[in-house]
Structure 1
Amino acid sequence: MILSFPTFTAGMVLSISLIMAIGPQNAHVLRMGLQRQHLWLTVAVCAVADVALIGLGVLGLAQLGGLTDKLHGALVGAGMLFLAVYGWQAFQRFLRPSGLGPAATLADAPESASSSENTTNAPLRPVAVTRRQAVLSALAFSWLNPHAWLDTAVLIGTASLAYGQGSTVFGLGAAAGSMLWFLVLGAAAFWLGRRLHSLHIWRALDGAVALMMWGTAAWLGFSLV
């Protein structure tokens, strides 16, 4: 295998262009970063999961001609259910902005502050997430999302065929692009997590996430019609 820089770069650019939209996976990474919970573990799992999909696409699905109709339908159905449930959870947090989850509490709120100030601007302590839960959540957002399969595995795998014997180099570039993106996204989420403590911001984020999840689920449903 001869490393071709143009081919490697083409794979990297395509990978980043497909993944950089704020989809369910990226929104999950952002939320874990803002909560300061297992951010880098989440970043690592998402990156490895994406690399696995890229490898599957370049070495497998592209040679087979893509997903079968039944497998595609099963993935879309599972993705719709997952997105609908996660959207509902985000919507519940939007309706009840007194915390980031059912067990969230106000952290280090001044005793002299008024109740209205405590419920709008006080720092919040989110529900604790174990390492196992963080890994499973990251894998679910990576592998139960039909967009990840279609964009990452099928599109990148199909595009790699245009490079003939250089398809492996193209795939390596795509994998490098995915890892680079998640490192940058994780760093941005970590930086923001040290500065965003307003409950208004969290409520807006949860509302946007709920709409995005439900919108994606609806779009997937229409795609099956």
Structure 2
Amino acid sequence: MLQLLTLCEKHDIFLIVDEVYREFCYDGKQFSSVLAFEQFSDRIICVDSFSKRYSMCGSRIGALISKNKDVLANALKLAQARLCPPDIEQVAAHAALKTDDKYLVDVQAEYEKRRNFIVEGLKKIEGVKCSTPKGAFYLVAELPVDDAENFATFMLRDFNLNGETVMVAPCEDFYVTKGIGHKQVRIAFVLNTHDLERAVACIDAGLKAYRTQVMGE
């Protein structure tokens, strides 16, 4: 983080940091906010949201935090030009703030359990490579396929296991460098372990079918 901030200072640009996953740290790791770097406060913009920690995906309620007065002044102009979030989302967000701290502790522990489960399962599939994420609730896996996007399409359009399939997100568009991520997919481990077990089995069977039917192996 310090290297990024130093680079931003050198080139006179802002660093925008999304801290929406700050409660989701695993393996005993502790979260450290970009706002702790006081010496760079004039070029830091931090954003946060209710959507992840309280499973309120789709609700557009959060915060933009900066100590740069010009940033805040211009952000306020933009905010005044837009409508506010729906009333029901504001009520839900207010209620979420009253949630006991134990809720977030339990949620973090559950996601860590899910992470461990799916990483272990994917690593048992021949040819699949994946690292163990230290935060959030996604992982990136490299698959033994010729094209991750084609595989994702195949899983949705041409394959099912007992009437079920798995949707994955091809990773190539997550990278700036052309060609990187061509065989990678992003998987969200947001289901319970029973459903994740079925998902891993589906991916395993889908890979075998794809390699036979599409890649001709």
Identify the structure with the greater helix proportion: 1
Identify the structure with the greater strand proportion: 2
Q: TM-score, normalised by structure 1?
A: 0.25
